[in-house]
Chains A and B, each alone.
Chain A
Amino acid sequence: AQSVSQHNHHVILSEAASLELGCNYSYGGTVNLFWYVQYPGQHLQLLLKYFSGDPLVKGIKGFEAEFIKSKFSFNLRKPSVQWSDTAEYFCAVGRDDKIIFGKGTRLHILP
């Protein structure tokens, strides 16, 4: 079945640590790729997106993601996390008029 997989369900890091959240998808053909974030008590907002071009995409708040077509992956990275990055992160794939989300990764940053 076509799906979006996020490898880590819960990640705990200290401030200033580097972050990488994995995302793989199983859809063939051309897809649009997204990372959304949900801060505590808030609704989802877009972090970054990839449609075409440079596979390294930069988003808001210092986040970036790399699209590796051969690996069907779109991992999210941040060199140095802050306490305010505590949130739930969702990878999503857009294809055929649908946007399908992964199950999310809860990120907890220790001050």
Chain B
Amino acid sequence: EVQLVESGGGSVQPGRSLKLSCAASGFTFGNYAMHWIRQAPTKGLEWVASISPSAGGTYYRDSVKGRFTVSRHNAENTLYLQMDSLRSEDTATYYCATHDYIGFAFWGQGTLVTFSS
């Protein structure tokens, strides 16, 4: 059974950093591109970043370029999202998801990032 378990969310001050993790199991992690997708409270879905299976390619939406870094450790079946210079508009539940022919095929349960003053 495919499982994706995100962790690392929490309350953070604007301008600070946070690193999210996504632990994968139940499939050959290193064979799949992986994505981070976020959902602001009561809002829709927004793709954030992607990484190729070998980590040779990374892709970001413009609003997070230069601030967020996606990476993966295939030997440990783990996906990461390093978020620096956080802004209040980054408040959201962050999901990791696999990618195959049906699109974003499997999603984790999400980890919530909020801001404190």
> A and B bound?
no
**Chain B contact residues, CB within 8 Å of chain A:** none
